[in-house]
Amino acid sequence: MKLLTGNDLKTGFVTWWTGADWSLHIEDAADVGEQGEAILAAEEGARRVNAPYIIAGEMTPDGPRPAHIKDRIRALGPTVRPDLTLKPADPNAGDWVI
């Protein structure tokens, strides 16, 4: 699967294309398939998200996951500060990242 990601213009936070909008949560990410480049171009024009780009991903029982370690870390947060990730209360939240 292919995922579209970028950083939110106002906050800089990592964000994922859901098919209709952007979400901070990788679980909401949609497979952009062959439409990725067109969505990317449209979203660049909308100027809501910085430097959007398309990455490879895979669907798992827990939801979509980026293929590359850099984007997996982007999806969760710094591995050395679980308290700063999107799921600070879940000690196993980062099991899939590394």
Partner 1 sequence: MYKYDEYDHAMVAARVAEFSDQVRRRLAGEITEDQFKPLRLMNGLYLQLHAYMLRVAVPYGTLDSRQMRMLAHIARKYDRDYGHFTTRQNIQYNWIKLEDAPAILEDLASVEMHAIQTSGNCIRNISSDQWAGAAADEITDPRPWAELLRQWSSFHPEFSYLPRKFKIAVIAADEDRAAMRLHDIGIQIVEKDGQHGAAFYVGGGMGRTPMIAPLIKDFVPLEDMLSYAEACLRVYNRYGRRDNIYKARIKILIHELGADEYRRQVEEEWAHVKSLGIDPPKAEFDRIAAQFAPPALDASAPDEIDRSDPDFAVWVDQNVAKHKMPGHAIVNISLKPVGGIPGDASSAQIDLMADLAEKYSHDELRVTHAQNIVLPHVRKADLYAIWQALDAAGLATPNLDLISDIIACPGLDYCSLANARSIPVAQKIAARFSDLGRQKELGELKLKISGCINACGHHHAGHIGILGVDRKGTENYQLLLGGSGAEDVSLGTITGPGFDEDGIVDAIERVTDKYLAERAEGERFVDTYRRVGMAPFKEAIYG
Q: Which residue has the tokens 């990317």?
A: 40
Cα angle at 38 between 36 and 44, to 5 degrees? 100
Nearer to partner 1, 5 or 30 (CB): 5
Nearer to partner 1, 34 or 92 (CB): 92
Nearer to partner 1, 34 or 55 (CB): 55
DSSP 8-state secondary structure symbol assigned to residue 26: G
Nearer to partner 1, 15 or 36 (CB): 15
Question: Which candidate, 59, 38, 46, places its Cα nearest to that of 4?
Answer: 38
Q: How far is the CB of 32 from partner 1 (least distance, A)?
A: 20
CB atoms within 10 A of CB 94: 18
Q: Which residues of the chain form contacts with partner 1 (CB under 8 A)?
A: 7, 9-14, 47, 50-51, 67-70, 73-74, 77-81, 84
Q: How far is the CB of 72 from partner 1 (least distance, A)?
A: 10
Q: How many angstroms separate the Cα of 61 from the Cα of each of 16, 65, 91, 96?
A: 18, 10, 19, 12
Q: How far is the CB of 73 from partner 1 (least distance, A)?
A: 6
